[in-house]
Structure 1
């Protein structure tokens, strides 16, 4: 039997359908793989071997009766941002302590309804605030990829969904849930050689997701292939009355877009994404992507998104402002950790000072400042106006083109600790991804090559609102042209 953990989600489901192996067998293979790799990679913060095997056995019983769901028997990893009934959910923050939700998030409910198996909860930046997975209370996640120059420095898998990306890249699950507020699905996918998609804002319910910035947060999958990402997104997305921002719109079967012809599509190349200091390899890769799409019959159109230069500053006002509001609920009163003090104010301040990490505290301070009297108009209101301008830029461009092609990340994986003392440089990792969040648009990252150090690089496709199909079409074409098959060496075994 082949290594079951190396299968894609689609291949695994085909194998389960053909009775080549059982859900219990493939789940057991993943449990053993996690046991071997997690001490080195730290991708999982909660391992659930017994629960996973029990779910797999139930799945096998359903299959035997012919009752299988779309993901029946497929072992998945769940980012620690999604509430899972009876299983600790902390958003990797000390302030939530050992919080065990009495309810299930809508996204994970959808997965279990279709027969998926939960292997465990995945590491992440605290409250999803970070681009390198170095702010988790459970410690850093290590990228399975290493440089090929003999330097064995531990590398970042990106953030905030670093655990999800590392687990998929290291074959510690078939696919994983993730979330994207400013690039937290797409940037880690690019840095780990995996596929990650953020759907249109409102496609996936935010009910049961620990909130960071409510007008930006969106759930999506990290997977091994474009088809797998489409399969996952089909199940994860749904209308939900429990989320006031959930869209009540028709949802196509996105797997049908994978492999569909792209001939005649107009692909925009925004000039503003050619940023100063971009590595030459990334510039060449972008051009290679353009050439591949040209060869497939796409028309390439140079476009301009003039307000792109204001996207990062606007994002780092809007997101911390919303975070300061959302995280005000963590006061040590109802759940999570409480640090005693003399009087109510002291309990609040002691709990928050000890419960939140440095990066979260930094962003809460920024958010509170920009919302304070005298500064609200100068910062928050102005940032929201800029956000509208960014959306208008996209709307103008999408009158001419069907999708946009850009790099995903301005760099490949950097060493852990390399940028942790330089928040501004760290924030620049989101330069190509935040615009899609500010405008609520779908974006997908697909791995296409490695750099001179042997580290993966990705290209990003941004689509019109509710046009994930275009993203999947173009991404699948890039995937086919690139034929990217490289995997990280299993140095941890």
Structure 2
């Protein structure tokens, strides 16, 4: 196992820039890792062997000629197969689009390509991004690299596993109720959901147009910053100053809505989260108990909004291709068909009220804090379709940031007794993305996550072959 494949973007970019490492060499090493381990992990639907090698040769020539484009130049990155890639099939994790070749890239993919990133492959996902497990009936279930019997979380499970297992240095994911952050937490990686529309959704199969987000999945918070800086749109409300690492968190006030954040939490996960909260306080942060009025109504509203909006895209497809959908999606669509228009309108009204009330509660605090996941991942094949619709709400506390549209970060914070990673979540105010990332990076460095993995040489429990 090559340790270089488990380092971060920041490190390999330095080697590539100084020509101590070749983009072609790095891409071949990554492809070999995929060939070796993806038959077991099923993190990819399509591996872009020829395309990535061609991109790496171009990157190598550019760097040799002094045309270095930045920290993603020559770095292998995976793309969730919900995002269009020009000339490379984009399935959405569905049989309906198994042979679809888009004629253009998604905006976020194009931005990565323009920065010189190597698109290594299309990552597996829960069908049409509509689930929390990445159990895909068409392309195989993605397996958690820390326990191959368990789910990796979803829907961006393939993106998280590719990043965790040395098969990409980062990935693009999408997040409608936690689909970036939940798999990141369960696979021991970083996942960042930016403020709504800070990263363009254009070129992505929609789940829920008013809840969907596109964001980076990486090994470190700094790597998430690198990807975000490349992928983001220019928005006036977004501060332009670069993230400056914080030495400590003195003066930071973190709101902790304990009633919501700790409901349904397993004892082993709770112990990890309590230790993480203690560390934040050791760093100087003040943990402030707060309430979130209308939280339950808002989460119910999210379900109504998502299951209504998803039919605006899938309705026409269902008439012709209904038989090609997985059983859990068929159940979701039946649920969505029964929602009257007035319920959708009321859900959006509640959402606006909740955002206003939450902003009022956050006036004197820098971010909300709590667990990303509150349960360990369960075993693959144990969930029935009728229960699958609620998985995101029972497994974690991620939907909160989607109904708000606020930036949210998941950063690894330790292991359960079973050796499964747990994620700590930070949720900021609109367009405070960099502030959230600063807090997360300060915490991450205090825990020394990457160095601990390197020291243990127990990156992931990959099968030995």
Q: Could you tell me how far apart the structure 2 residues matched to 1:425 and 1:359 are?
A: 11
In 2, are the aligned partners of 1:44 and 1:121 still within 8 Å (CA)?
yes
Name 1:395's counterpart in structure 2: 359
In 1, are the aligned partners of 2:299 and 2:403 still within 8 Å (CA)?
no
In 1, are the aligned partners of 2:238 and 2:432 still within 8 Å (CA)?
no
Residues 441, 65 of structure 1: CA spacing in aligned structure 2 closer, same or farther, 3 A cutoff? same
Name 1:220's counterpart in structure 2: 215
- Asked if 1:39 corresponds to 2:39, the answer is yes
Residues 330, 313 of structure 1: CA spacing in aligned structure 2 closer, same or farther, 3 A cutoff? same
Name 1:308's counterpart in structure 2: 295
Runs of 4+ more than 3 Å apart: 247-251, 257-261, 274-277
In 2, are the aligned partners of 1:30 and 1:172 still within 8 Å (CA)?
yes
Q: Could you tell me how far apart the structure 1 residues matched to 2:380 and 2:363 are?
A: 42
Name 2:88's counterpart in structure 1: 87
- Asked if 1:117 corresponds to 2:118, the answer is yes
Q: Could you tell me how far apart the structure 1 residues matched to 2:310 and 2:367 are?
A: 31
Deviation at 1:28, TM superposition (A): 0.3
User: What residue ranges of structure 1 are gaps of 5+ in the alignment?
Assistant: 147-152, 240-246, 332-348
Residues 108, 225 of structure 1: CA spacing in aligned structure 2 closer, same or farther, 3 A cutoff? same
Name 2:157's counterpart in structure 1: 162
Name 1:354's counterpart in structure 2: 323
- Asked if 1:200 corresponds to 2:195, the answer is yes
Residues 248, 120 of structure 1: CA spacing in aligned structure 2 closer, same or farther, 3 A cutoff? same
Of residues 85-94 and 256-265 in structure 1, the stretch that sits farther from structure 2 once superposed is 256-265
- Asked if 1:269 corresponds to 2:262, the answer is no
Q: 1:474 aligns with which of 432, 439, 463?
A: 439
In 2, are the aligned partners of 1:155 and 1:413 still within 8 Å (CA)?
yes
- Asked if 1:384 corresponds to 2:356, the answer is no
TM-score normalised by structure 1 residue count: 0.89
Q: Could you tell me how far apart the structure 2 residues matched to 1:136 and 1:394 are?
A: 39
- Asked if 1:439 corresponds to 2:414, the answer is no
Residues 224, 253 of structure 1: CA spacing in aligned structure 2 closer, same or farther, 3 A cutoff? farther
Query: 1:220-259 maps to which residues of 2 (within 5 A)?
Result: 220-239=215-234, 247=235, 249-250=237-238, 252=240, 254=242, 256-259=243-246
Query: 1:23-62 maps to which residues of 2 (within 5 A)?
Result: 23-62=23-62
- Asked if 1:176 corresponds to 2:163, the answer is no
In 1, are the aligned partners of 2:250 and 2:284 still within 8 Å (CA)?
yes
Q: Could you tell me how far apart the structure 1 residues matched to 2:309 and 2:73 are?
A: 37
Name 1:483's counterpart in structure 2: 448
In 2, are the aligned partners of 1:234 and 1:253 still within 8 Å (CA)?
no
Name 2:415's counterpart in structure 1: 450
Q: Could you tell me how far apart the structure 2 residues matched to 1:490 and 1:39 are?
A: 11
Of residues 450-459 and 415-424 in structure 1, the stretch that sits farther from structure 2 once superposed is 415-424
Name 1:13's counterpart in structure 2: 13
In 2, are the aligned partners of 1:131 and 1:429 still within 8 Å (CA)?
no
Q: Could you tell me how far apart the structure 2 residues matched to 1:3 and 1:298 are?
A: 34
Secondary structure of the structure 1 residue equivalent to 2:136: coil
Deviation at 1:17, TM superposition (A): 1.5
Q: 1:279 aligns with which of 266, 285, 310?
A: 266
Q: Could you tell me how far apart the structure 2 residues matched to 1:365 and 1:203 are?
A: 32
Q: Could you tell me how far apart the structure 2 residues matched to 1:16 and 1:448 are?
A: 30
Deviation at 1:389, TM superposition (A): 2.8
Q: Deviations over 1:172-226 (max 9, x none)?
A: 0010010000000000000000000000001011111111100011100110011
In 2, are the aligned partners of 1:272 and 1:309 still within 8 Å (CA)?
no
Of residues 478-487 and 185-194 in structure 1, the stretch that sits farther from structure 2 once superposed is 478-487
CA RMSD across the alignment: 1.8
Q: Could you tell me how far apart the structure 1 residues matched to 2:250 and 2:257 are?
A: 20
Residues 482, 198 of structure 1: CA spacing in aligned structure 2 closer, same or farther, 3 A cutoff? same
User: What residue ranges of structure 2 are gaps of 5+ in the alignment?
Assistant: 454-458
Name 2:456's counterpart in structure 1: none
Name 2:76's counterpart in structure 1: 75
Of residues 181-190 and 405-414 in structure 1, the stretch that sits farther from structure 2 once superposed is 405-414
TM-score normalised by structure 2 residue count: 0.94
Secondary structure of the structure 2 residue equivalent to 1:94: coil
Q: Could you tell me how far apart the structure 2 residues matched to 1:187 and 1:88 are?
A: 26
Q: Deviations over 1:10-37 (max 9, x none)?
A: 1110111222210000000001000011
